[in-house]
Structure 1
Amino acid sequence: MANRLAQATSPYLLQHADNPVDWWEWEPAAFEEARRRDVPLLLSVGYSSCHWCHVMAHESFEDETIAAYLNEHFVPVKVDREERPDVDAVYMEAVQAATGQGGWPMTVFLTPDAEPFYFGTYFPPSPRHGQPGFLQVLQGVHAAWAERRDEVTDVAGKIVQDLSGRVMPFGDAGDSAPGEEDMAAALLGLTREYDAVRGGFGGAPKFPPSMVLEFLLRHHARTGSEGALQMAADTCERMARGGIYDQLGGGFARYSVDRDWIVPHFEKMLYDNALLCRVYAHLWRATGSDLARRVALETADFMVRELRTAEGGFASALDADSDDGAGRHVEGAYYVWTPEQLTEVLGEEDGELAARHFGVTEEGTFEEGASVLRLPQQEGVFDADRIASIRRRLAEARSRRPAPGRDDKVVAAWNGLAVAALAETGAYFARPDLVEAAVAAADLLVRVHMDEHAGLARTSRDGRAGANAGVLEDYGDVAEGLITLAGVTGEGVWLDFAGLLLGHVRERFTDEESGTLYDTAADAERLFRRPQDPTDNAAPSGWTAAAGAMLSYAAHTGSDEHRTAAERALGVVRLLSRRVPRFIGWGLAVAEAGIDGPREVALVGPRDDEATRALHRTALLGTAPGAVVAVGAEGGDEFPLLADRPLVGGAPAAYVCRHFTCDAPTTDPSHLAQVLNAPQA
């Protein structure tokens, strides 16, 4: 059998390269093969750190009997949802419409015309808990295809017609950005859904509300709302003290299976950690919280230490599962401890202290009496130096355990988020190494992923770009990262690259008539529906990420076209801010920047001058929502904001502007801080 997945750039596809299943990638040849053989296709979608994807692979796709039946009666197609979010989105919409739920692995049966007709997620190999076995499903679908073909194709046609005909309810949103009343309504809606006891929103499972937290911090900065700050600060503290946060190595797991942030689903994703690193850095900027500072830095260090690739980019994820030391692949094995294991590493006295400090009990919070580590709600109960020593010793002992697997493909969008987070965190805390890591990742994105004419490649691996075209979130998040990096480094070339990407957004992703944005380019592969979704998922929606980048670019350059495009794209936020504020968090954060200006800060002076550096640091630490910063020598042409901005009395000066109309310049960092940190009157 030809191993078609052996040359894939996706580690997820490579995990299946040795299956007895005769997998195809998503490509025209697979559908041509299905037509030639007159059989349906099995579309299986997952990702490398997905626990249940691994389970189904082991139970079914490695089973010779199931594989033989699948190969004989179907054309099996394997898709990495992280490489092809467009394929994932359109078929997940079909799964959710048909079953009322979704998830991964996603299992969809298609006609040779790519029309879906039967759906599911994980199937066990044999019937279990009222769920049919996978072989039963295959046999049933094959029988229906062979004996009731007209019925199957009729169902498929109706599903496609229904989904293709759905009109997203954005028509009444208008094409102008939301205003202060919309932000107040969103805050009220979030307050109603807020878990005042545990932090966060909703019940179990509980996901880090990264984009909503950014909105709350920006809303507080603009209005002085103590309620918004309290929700953000309390949620961040609860997560940081919970098991969802890695108390030894830094970084966050994907979500908590309970309402209290205790037991995580252990996979660690780049996008979560980039977003939360930035949130905690911004929380420190607003409050001076020592806990926020520590978490921001530990999360940044985790990304650089465990996710950075040899080429300077950042890998996508770490698996939830790892070897438990007894030859079993177990979720969370790398991270959990029993009291006996603590004593073995630390000795009896420190082992007992560690168990009390980190909440490790005989019963355990996980399987077989093991516990995740979490922190007490009150610090200072135990000697800080002793606890620091315990943490170091436990981390060293854990490093000798079998490590979780790493998905080392570089996803453009998530690397853009990492660039923004590392650049700001490095600037805030005088960590030039973090800024250098951000520069290296940005350089990889420009060199390997970016083509001036073709646009962005979605992924790369080992310095080689994948064949999958970037989607809207790639353009929006990379542009956001590059604009942020330009403000931190004073290198205007990053702003230029961001402008090239946003040119693609306006030309290839924007509906000219309505100003709404599509997730795929106009010249991308045509699926039965062109995906379009302004709501956030695990990361900011491409729609609002692009709108935010266009707003920042307009603030830097004075471009009315980009400002207008951003405001038209934000029209949907007005509609959704009142209905589902939890799911439009990044759009709300961008809207806060638009209402505030955003402020444009031009810093004129030699970049190696201490006075310029003091003004630059003050500007970066300003809490004005979405403020952009340009720094350079008098008469420099790297940033449009610096044009016609002279020194003041021969000294470096800061100009704070809105829409290129500036207040009187200042040479005093404390005055600049007062201007940038004061809520709107």
Structure 2
Amino acid sequence: MNRRLTEATSPYLRSHADNPVPWFPWGDAAFDEARRRDVPVLVSIGYSTCHWCHVMARESFQDPATAADLESGFVSIKVDREEHPEVDAAYMAAASAFTAHLGWPLTVFATPDGRPFFAGTYFPPEPRGGLPAFRQVLAAVREAWEERRDEIDGTAGAVVEALADVRARAGDEASTLPTVDDLTAAARALAGREDPEYGGFGAGEGPKFPVATALRFLQARLVRENAPEASAVADRALAAMASSALRDPVEGGLFRYATRRDWSVPHFERMLTDNAQLLDVALAAGHEPTARGIARFLIDVLQQPSGGFGAAQDSESWIDGARSEGGYYEQDAAARAALEPPAVDGKIVTGWNGLAIGALARAGARVGEESWIEAARWAADAVLETNTTADGRLVRASLDEIPSRAAATLSDYGQLAGGLVALAVATAEPAYALRAGELVEACVAPDGTLAVPGGGDPVLAAQGLAAPDASSDGDEPSGPAALAEAALALWTLGAGPRYREVAERIVASGVAAALAQPLAHAALLRTAAALTIPPRQVVVVTDDAVHPLAAAARSLDADVIAVVSAARAREFAAAGFALFEAKTSTSPATAYDCRDFACRLPVTEPALLGGD
């Protein structure tokens, strides 16, 4: 067993510990060894629920002859892309210079100083489908390294220079905040990409993804009020997914994507990121059964003994002594009970837990499921305890309550901060919102620019290799978008104009690209939409959390719905959240319905609490 991997804080790396390949984890030691031996570096990037990563591992990395080739001619590094997203992004950007077919496993060859000179994805053990065999690739790279080093150095230098140039140009376009008309047009443009027959985005024959970030933008209050036909696209997409093979009818939750346009033949991994965001989508669309299934999956399947939520559940499992992709999920409840379920990647990713914390807190408050709120609180406490260093900085992830050495990203800070604000409202505990404010502030430099506390990945920084700034949203909100959303959420609680200014600055810097490509920047557009219209804030002061007035408030379409005791309202106000100032009650329950902090006369009867 490879001790370097058995001691890793990544299930993906641990799963490769028995390979005959002498893997190194990501770090300086591997590159130092490559310099000592003067050999190229193989950087193999994947993740624990990646089907083709498993296939390449079985076909090539378990093969003694392939392992011997790697040991004699290379230093091999195994990277978990979920633990090191900055490394993955940098090498993925570099790989785009060599292939248009990007994905995982990502196979990159680099010089000992980390500069990529060739890349691909999955390579088979024998030539197949136009792809060379992996051992042929190794032989060709080794021959080039030994006989055409000048060409390799030139290619590697050009790739690094190109990436540096892209980063230097990133963020140059400053703009102003979008108007209601701008955002309405973007929503309609996004809705225009709907598959009219099966719902969702795209009518081609390729894979179809939920794209939860886009659905959430279409459900924003501004869009519902100004382009209801665009919002209906999100509702139809959710309904189509919920009634398709993409949704697991037994354990709840939705799979990563469908390989067919009609949402059939799923890729059977279930991701924390997708399901956390789709919980919000389901509730906004009025699909409570789907929301309950997703919440059940998050809590019963992904939540770990420590309290945090695991990253994903695998698509493969053992059935009758053989590996089966999706076989477990194709069984009914009775048959599943007799099978070993697919493995869960128990890695607690900081930002992804923030997405789940926020979704469960909001959903639990809306449908009256206190257990969901408590699950969110348990996860938040676990992340704040284990994924935080002694000086208050975040780390990217942990496993079995052991923190990773991988640096946190902007998205970790922003996504966790957003989740903590939602949890503060759901639990009526201002301490979570205060911590959220600290996380946002830690990422904002004095000149207003965004930066990860402590800097990014130190190995990449030393090599001068970095990806273009990740300002677009993929299957989760980008770092800037998540920070903008968290900052705005803090402002709506009355944390002060400083937080709105942070959100406005982030949105203004990215709005031109977002309006031009709404599908790629939907999370930022959602925050832009919230900035463009006055927030609605409803505070109910009562000692009875299930009072009819509280229940009426929770059914409203508002940016903040807080149910607090008079004592907790005073605590929020004392902590600096001005929304709660002077919020008292002389009856069993009193509701304050506010627009942009200007409150109507308080009411004590549910019928008097307006619906708009």
Pair in the same fold by TM > 0.5 = yes
1:310-389 correspondence runs (5 A): 310-325=305-320, 327-336=321-330
Q: Aligned in 2, Cα 1:192/1:608: closer, same or farther, shift over 3 Å?
A: closer
Q: Which residue of 2 aligns with 1:43?
A: 43
Aligned to 1:436: 374
Name the SS for the 2:609 alignment partner.
Answer: helix
Q: Which residue of 1 aligns with 2:297?
A: 302
Aligned counterparts, 1:61-460, within 5 A: 61-166=61-166, 167-168=168-169, 170-174=171-175, 176-202=176-202, 203=204, 204-219=206-221, 223=225, 225-284=227-286, 292-325=287-320, 327-336=321-330, 394-451=332-389, 453-460=391-398
Shift of the 578–638 alpha-carbon distance from structure 1 to 2, 3 Å rule, reads closer
Structure 2 counterpart of 1:7: 7
Mark the CA change 1:524 to 1:673 in structure 2 (over 3 Å): closer, same or farther.
farther
The question of whether the paired residues in 2 share the 8 Å contact of 1:183 and 1:577 is answered with no
Deviation at 1:651, TM superposition (A): 5.5
State the SS of the aligned residue for 1:534: coil
1:572-587 alignment to 2 at 5 Å?
A: 572-587=509-524
Contact 2:317/2:327, CA 8 A, preserved across alignment: yes
Q: Distance in 1 between matches of 2:298 and 2:585?
A: 41
Matched, 1:486 2:424: yes
Structure 1 segment 511-590 matched on structure 2, within 5 A: 515=448, 517=450, 522=455, 524-525=457-458, 526=461, 527-529=464-466, 531-590=468-527
How far apart are 1:662 and its partner, in Å? 2.9
Residue-by-residue CA offset, 1:369-418 (whole Å, 9 max, x unaligned): xxxxxxxxxxxxxxxxxxxxxxxxx3122221232111111111111111
Please, which runs of 5 or more residues in structure 1 have no aligned partner?
A: 285-291, 338-393
Bigger shift: residues 68-77 or 569-578: 569-578
Is 2:387–2:398's contact at 8 Å kept on the other side of the alignment?
A: yes
Give the conservation status (yes or no) of the 8 Å contact 2:46–2:80: yes
What amino acid maps onto 1:332 in structure 2? G
- Superposition pairs of residues 642-657 of structure 1, within 5 angstroms: 643-647=580-584, 650=587, 652-657=589-594
| SS, match of residue 99 in structure 1 | coil
Superposed displacement of residue 646, structure 1: 4.2
CA distance in 1, matches of 2:361, 2:513: 31
Q: 2:571: which partner in 1? A: 637
Letter in 2 for 1:172: E
Deviation at 1:169, TM superposition (A): 5.2
Larger deviation, residues 142-151 vs 444-453: 444-453
> C-alpha separation between the residues in 1 aligned to 2:140 and 2:545?
74
* Cα shift at 1:631: 2.7
Q: Decide whether aligned partners of structure 1 residues 162 and 671 sit closer, same or farther in structure 2, where only a CA change above 3 A counts.
A: same
Who is 1:608 aligned against? 544
Structure 1 residue 666: Cα displacement? 2.7
Q: CA deviation at 1:294?
A: 0.4
1:588 alignment partner, SS class: helix
- Which stretch of structure 1 is more off in the superposition, 70-79 or 527-536? 527-536
**1:570 counterpart SS class:** helix
Deviation at 1:3, TM superposition (A): 2.9
CA distance in 2, matches of 1:399, 1:173: 56
Contact 2:349 2:398 in 1 (8 A): yes
In structure 2, distance between residues paired with 1:15 and 1:321: 14
Which has the larger displacement, 577-586 or 132-141?
Answer: 577-586
> In structure 2, do the counterparts of structure 1 residues 124 and 656 end up closer, same or farther at CA, with 3 Å as the change threshold?
same
- The worse-fitting range, judged by mean Cα deviation, of 225-234 and 293-302 is 225-234
Deviation, structure 1 residue 519: 6.7
Give per-residue Cα distances to partners, 1:466-523, cap 9 Å, x unaligned.
111211111111111110011111111111111121121214xxxx65x554578536
Seen in structure 2, the aligned counterparts of structure 1 residues 262 and 52 have a Cα distance that, compared at 3 Å, is same
**Closer, same or farther: CA 628–143 of 1 in aligned 2, 3 Å:** farther
**CA offsets 1:609-644 (integer angstroms, 9 cap, x no match):** 65xx444444443223x4363633166123423554
CA contact (8 A) 1:12 1:80 kept: yes
Task: Tell me which amino acid in the other structure corresponds to 1:442.
Answer: A
> Hey, what's the Cα distance between the residues in 2 that align with 1:425 and 1:52?
35
Change (3 A) 1:453 1:181: farther
1:646–1:318 CA distance, 2 compared to 1 (3 A): closer
Shift of 1:40: 0.8
Post-superposition shift, 1:170?
3.7
- Tell me, in whole angstroms, the C-alpha distance in 2 between the residues paired with 1:60 and 1:330: 19
Aligned to 1:661: 598
Alignment partners' CA distance in 1, 2:81 and 2:585: 54
Secondary structure of 1:205's counterpart equals coil
Q: Following the alignment from structure 1 to structure 2, what is the Cα–Cα distance between the partners of residues 183 and 169?
A: 23
Helix, strand or coil at the partner of 1:44: strand
- Give the direction of change, closer, same or farther, for the CA distance of 1:524–1:76 in structure 2 (3 Å limit): closer
Q: Tell me, what secondary structure is at the counterpart of 2:540?
A: strand
Distance 1:670 1:416, change over 3 A: farther
Q: Which runs of 4 or more aligned residues in structure 1 lie more than 6 Å from their structure 2 counterparts after TM superposition?
A: none
Change over 3 Å in CA distance of 1:402–1:245 after alignment to 2: same
Determine the structure 2 residue equivalent to 1:358. none
Partner Cα separation in structure 2 for residue 104 and residue 60 of structure 1: 15
Q: Which residue of the partner structure matches residue 556 of structure 2? A: 622
1:469 equivalent in structure 2: 407
How many residue pairs match? The answer is 601
1:557 to 1:57, Cα distance in 2 relative to 1, 3 A: same
Give how far 1:6 is off.
Answer: 1.2
Contact in 2 for aligned 1:603/1:642 (Cα 8 Å): no
The answer to whether the Cα contact below 8 Å between 1:178 and 1:591 also exists between their aligned partners in 2 is yes
Which deviations, in whole Å up to 9, do the C-alpha atoms of 1:234-291 show, x marking residues without a partner?
111110111111122211100000111111000111111111112101222xxxxxxx
Cα gap change, 1:593 to 1:617, in 2 (>3 Å): farther
With 19-28 and 197-206 compared, the bigger mean Cα shift is at 197-206
Change (3 A) 1:222 1:665: farther
- Looking at structure 2, the residues matched to 523 and 200 of structure 1 have their Cα atoms a distance apart, in angstroms, of 35
How has the CA–CA distance of structure 1 residues 179 and 631 changed in structure 2, closer, same or farther, with 3 Å as cutoff?
farther
Q: CA deviation at 1:9?
A: 0.9
Amino acid corresponding to residue 171 of structure 1 in structure 2: D
Paired residues of 1:558 and 1:660 also in contact (CA < 8 A):
no
1:122-177 deviations in whole A, cap 9, x for unaligned? 00012112211100101100111101111101110011001111145542342x43
Q: CA deviation at 1:431?
A: 1.6
Contact 1:182 1:574 in 2 (8 A): no
What secondary structure is seen at the aligned counterpart in 2 of 1:445?
helix
Q: Could you give the per-residue CA deviations for residues 337-364 of structure 1, whole angstroms, max 9, x where no partner exists?
A: 5xxxxxxxxxxxxxxxxxxxxxxxxxxx
What amino acid is the match of 1:528?
Answer: L
Equivalent-residue separation in structure 1 for 2:454 and 2:101 (angstroms): 28
Letter in 1 for 2:403: A
Partner Cα separation in structure 2 for residue 622 and residue 145 of structure 1: 65
Per the TM alignment, residue 206 of structure 1 is displaced from its structure 2 partner at its CA by: 0.4
TM-score by length of 1: 0.84
